[in-house]
Structure 1
């Protein structure tokens, strides 16, 4: 437990371009861009690659809202700076991720260099850092705080509680030589942007810029462009009714060995329907376990879809809580 009364903090560094909120001015060091670029100390979590046959890298779950967040009225976000430099690589494992110098780089051609800090691009790097930051902030995790890699969300139903929690979290980060990008942090807002979503009390919706990117995006011309379009759409599928069935003509184009897209009327219709769906994507309400749910189902020859809704508010309007859909496999279609 962090004691705010007894915590001794050094005087803030003179970073003239920082404008730290007055409540956290004594912790200005945690937003220092200079310190964020320095090598970290050795920790129990120094990064190492342990080669074990048959192991699969763990995945981080896509961010869900919890029941505690549903009641929150005030939100703050912190963005960690240079997480690649937060963990050192163990010396005995540095040779595994060594690489040859390439033409056009600062390293001599043919020279072998090893990473001193957590490298980008390795499959296990995100999960290692996620486990480390969870351990550092485990006292507040799930109670008033959510972490996804380098993004931290602090939420509270009262005005005073988030100030206490933010102060405590900043103290812990500073003690562990972890720093934040002040320009990407938000303090004491009723509505914040987090992991591609807009979060406010009791609801979550897509960011307008994400909706505009889909609406104004050009027609895919190659497999790679179509994969990029569908990958982004799939991230936001929880807002779209019967997404799998709407997107089926486009996903079918990726099957087979053909190198060129066979873009026909059915694919064009699916593309335009997805654009329209994302332009009018609804706000998903947070479910109330104490109220009854309404389930609407739909089944076609190519897929199934479900809408989960609840009557909410004084007007008792039926509002969507969640969407689910999936394509049927060839065996299921028979």
Structure 2
């Protein structure tokens, strides 16, 4: 055996004893309080929901004509699955045969468990739908209410959208075309642009008496919070009784605790002392984005910066170590959070390389947050188109609490992604991601790679540091490293300095300051910019 050869050569050996530690899943009947409401936790919805005060409507831009698109071609396995799922939806009363002039194709998206989910491609309908402006709260704002609470329960509604009816007059607009027949939804389907806002309206009305007291709702998720166990039992009973009275049904599943995300500072805290010039450059490269928040950054970093000079021998001195530790301490305590405002357009710059994904979240020219992660092994085989799309999906997932329900413009340096929303021939991976994109009110635009400075740096330069950290152990499922800041790339800083020495631009600056109708504006970085 190869193990014996290694032992003979003097290698260290470890004996591992592996046992199955799979927990026995709890049942509704075995959980206190919940056991009294077993009829709220159904394995599946049994039929049409009751008529509610809130119903889903589809208001169209005036003058819109019915949209009808031919069905997509399907593989034999998909055809078989289509027939099965259509029968299930019909049996439950969720869909019915349709004679509507509207018609949208369907496609399948593979779920994580390998099963197939039927999705209706409502992209064209969403384009002509008047957007519902009902406000969706930011998750971090909702969590501000939890101060002082120590007991939590989270409830997910079962197929929440299917528990809300579509207005009878708007049912024909939901119709979809298959090779078997033409169908239309009687319940709110997934993929429609106003679905999150309407469902949020329903949940707020139902739980209005308890909001800001012991209940937080976000679309189809309910969080109950309390100060002690006795109080929590009372609160949980009130919520479950409300669900029962309103005939809303939930999933019974194990919940997760709420904790502060350590990844926001782990990129700095867990950094080991550099062992060569490349590692010094990596650390200073990441830390440099925070420099405007740390008083005397350059002075503190000087011992390490000197190691980057040419013809200087690398020697990690006591002063270098002190500089390193001091910077880590200051960077993790610096007030680097820049909070965005709801209702104003967000801008995402995304980029991908063969090492990793990088993205930057901005609002009104200010950087709100950035994120990056290295590629997983299977992602290294993606074609460039899919890799760049993966960067966009990564950004939307990680900043969902900012972007969900908000207008968003995504810039990528891969030109063909600009036409993704109108593309017909999609592979399974692209179909799955497109379903996620349809949940957001976004526009994808092309932006040359050279102009996408920060995202490009995150996907390429900083990945050396991420690789070094992740060799220690697996920190998280996706290896994400997050930090929120306002960044000022060196290239932009150089442009600003050069502007001050340009007489023509100085004249333009004076026009801006005098507000005499100039085509320019002065940005928050004190740079002269063209007006958008």
Return the TM-score normalized by structure 2. 0.40
The alpha carbon displacement at 1:136 in A equals 0.7
> Of 134, 144, 151, which residue of structure 1 is paired with 2:204?
134
Instruction: Mark the CA change 1:331 to 1:233 in structure 2 (over 3 Å): closer, same or farther.
Output: same
- Equivalence for 1:25: 35
Write the deviation string for residues 25-62 of structure 1: whole angstroms up to 9, x where unpaired: 1111111224x342111112122223354943336344
- Give secondary structure in 1 for the equivalent of 2:222: strand
Does the CA-based 8 Å contact 1:48-1:93 persist in structure 2? yes
- Equivalence for 1:210: none
Does the CA-based 8 Å contact 1:37-1:85 persist in structure 2? no
State the distance in 2 between where 1:19 and 1:327 align.
Answer: 60
CA RMSD of aligned residues (A): 4.5
The alpha carbon displacement at 1:231 in A equals 3.4
State the distance in 1 between where 2:241 and 2:212 align.
Answer: 18
Does the CA-based 8 Å contact 2:153-2:223 persist in structure 1? yes
Does the CA-based 8 Å contact 1:45-1:132 persist in structure 2? yes
Instruction: Mark the CA change 1:331 to 1:134 in structure 2 (over 3 Å): closer, same or farther.
Output: same
State the distance in 1 between where 2:248 and 2:197 align.
Answer: 17
Instruction: Mark the CA change 1:170 to 1:224 in structure 2 (over 3 Å): closer, same or farther.
Output: same
State the distance in 1 between where 2:33 and 2:448 align.
Answer: 59
State the distance in 2 between where 1:258 and 1:87 align.
Answer: 34
Does the CA-based 8 Å contact 1:37-1:82 persist in structure 2? no
Instruction: Mark the CA change 1:180 to 1:205 in structure 2 (over 3 Å): closer, same or farther.
Output: farther
Higher RCO (CA < 8 A, seq sep 6+) = 1
State the distance in 1 between where 2:418 and 2:198 align.
Answer: 38
Are 1:64 and 2:140 an aligned pair? Answer: yes
Write the deviation string for residues 197-224 of structure 1: whole angstroms up to 9, x where unpaired: xx23xx34569xxxxx944523463334
Are 1:161 and 2:241 an aligned pair? Answer: no
Structural mapping, 1:212-227, within 5 Å: 214-217=373-376, 218-219=379-380, 221-227=383-389
> Of 392, 396, 414, which residue of structure 2 is paired with 1:254?
414
State the distance in 1 between where 2:418 and 2:37 align.
Answer: 57
The alpha carbon displacement at 1:85 in A equals 1.8
Does the CA-based 8 Å contact 2:150-2:225 persist in structure 1? yes
State the distance in 2 between where 1:30 and 1:303 align.
Answer: 57
State the distance in 2 between where 1:256 and 1:99 align.
Answer: 28
- Equivalence for 1:300: 489
Are 1:47 and 2:56 an aligned pair? Answer: yes
Structural mapping, 1:195-214, within 5 Å: 199-200=258-259, 203-205=260-262, 214=373
- Equivalence for 1:246: none
* Runs of at least 5 residues in structure 1 that lack an aligned partner in the other structure: 1-15, 193-198, 208-212, 239-249, 285-295, 305-325
- Equivalence for 1:271: 459
Does the CA-based 8 Å contact 2:136-2:197 persist in structure 1? yes
Aligned residues: 251
* Runs of at least 5 residues in structure 2 that lack an aligned partner in the other structure: 1-25, 63-128, 265-371, 401-409, 420-446, 470-477, 494-523
Does the CA-based 8 Å contact 2:389-2:417 persist in structure 1? no
Instruction: Mark the CA change 1:298 to 1:112 in structure 2 (over 3 Å): closer, same or farther.
Output: closer
State the distance in 1 between where 2:238 and 2:527 align.
Answer: 50
Return the TM-score normalized by structure 1. 0.60
